[in-house]
Amino acid sequence: MVELDPILRGNKKDRKEFSCAIKIDTMINQDFCCNICHRGFTKKVRPHFDHIQGREDNSMSNCQALCPNCHNNKSVNENREEAKKQKERSTNIDINTKWI
């Protein structure tokens, strides 16, 4: 028997944007496993509810439950991508404004 409440409470660092109903449906759809590595969630391996694309969309289709490890890896990759984009943007601005 899976104890829903402590598992669904998730990690303290989780942003509280997804509704509880969406979290429950996501967990059921994923069979209480991480959506990337498929490791089962336990009291020790709490799910992190992740926005698949962008944090503005809190709908069911944008929600996935990840284990802390996969969530961390995804965030690191996303932050790296964002830093790269920002660097490109600032480089573009330099090129466009240098000779004005």
Contacts with Zn ion, residue ranges (CB under 5 A): 34, 36-37, 67, 70
Backbone angles phi, psi at 48, to 5 degrees: -105, 130
Nearest residue (CB) to Zn ion, 38 versus 85: 38
Neighbour count for residue 75 (Cβ, 10 Å)? 13
For the CB of residue 71, give the shortest distance to Zn ion in the complex, in Å: 8
What is the rounded distance in angstroms from the CA atom of residue 32 to the CA atom of residue 42?
A: 9
Neighbour count for residue 49 (Cβ, 10 Å)? 22
Neighbour count for residue 52 (Cβ, 10 Å)? 11
Nearest residue (CB) to Zn ion, 27 versus 34: 34
For the CB of residue 46, give the shortest distance to Zn ion in the complex, in Å: 12
For the CB of residue 25, give the shortest distance to Zn ion in the complex, in Å: 19
Nearest residue (CB) to Zn ion, 45 versus 87: 45
